[in-house]
Amino acid sequence: MRADDLFKAMNGIDEKFLEESENTENGRNKILKIRRYVVVAACACFAIAIGLYVPNAFRMGRSDLAYEESFETAEESNDAIYDEKSEGAALEVEGEAASDSIYAYNISLYINDEYVDVSWEDNEAVNAIKEVLVDGDITLEMSPYGGFEVYSKIDLSIPAQDEQLTAESGDIVLYNGDTFAVLYDSNTADYTKLGKIYNLSNEELKELLENESVTIALRLE
């Protein structure tokens, strides 16, 4: 008997074992996911608490001063209150504009320095990538996998919302919460969808991605 015979004998492996192997979730992954969600939720609560407390404390401090000044003429005290309110309102508007501004920007994607049009999803994962891009571009060296995608691990905390998807050519996905992939043929797996490349035919996309060396750059523009 040769290795080829042993290899071919595996054609009869029980279907339930083969299906089981296609499930990427394992106990450790589940625990890491739960831990990640707990940390993200805790940070979100903390950020909301800070967001509510600081402006309130600021306004309370200024209104104490306004109260002390109320012994002056009524006109002067009214002016002081008016100034404080309009300044507080201006600070609020500035704060809102600052927090909204990065989400108004778009992520530009370049494959081997060639810009490609992408329609990005409006979800937490894409917003998290935008927040990271504020500090600088992300450059990924991609590796081929399975004859249908190029992928790269990303060392970032991106909130994943995986669901079983049949991803098509041009889809940009997050996989296992830490792997960025671009598909040039279809595949079904647990993915978080990030976006879709358009204005490129399947052949053009395959030509770009079926190269020995593929670099993908993400920029906020």
By CB under 8 A, name the binding residues for other proteins.
1-15, 17-18, 20-21, 23-24, 26, 28-29, 32, 145-148, 151, 153, 176, 179, 185-187, 210
Please tell me the total number of residues recorded for the chain in this structure.
221
Nearer to other proteins, 78 or 186 (CB): 186
User: Which whole-number Å values give the CA distances from 188 to 22, 134, 151, 179, 210, in the listed order?
Assistant: 10, 32, 15, 16, 20
Residue 122 and residue 104: Cα distance in Å, rounded? 11
CB 24, min distance to other proteins, A? 5
CB 186, min distance to other proteins, A? 5
Give residue for tokens 């079983």.
164
Alpha carbon 11 to its chain centroid, in Å, reads 40
CB 54, min distance to other proteins, A? 39
Nearer to other proteins, 88 or 159 (CB): 159
CB 137, min distance to other proteins, A? 24
Nearer to other proteins, 14 or 135 (CB): 14
Nearer to other proteins, 6 or 74 (CB): 6
Report the alpha-carbon angle 123-112-187, nearest 5. 50
CB 25, min distance to other proteins, A? 9
Are residues 122 and 196 in contact, defined by beta-carbon separation less than 8 angstroms?
Answer: no
Cross-strand partners of 167: 187
The token pair at 27 is 């106990």
Give residue for tokens 């002081």.
80
Residue 104 and residue 107: Cα distance in Å, rounded? 10
Which residues 6+ apart lie within 8 Å of 134 measured at CB?
102, 220
Count CB neighbours of 125 within 10 A. Answer: 20
Nearer to other proteins, 135 or 212 (CB): 212
Nearer to other proteins, 2 or 114 (CB): 2
CB 200, min distance to other proteins, A? 19
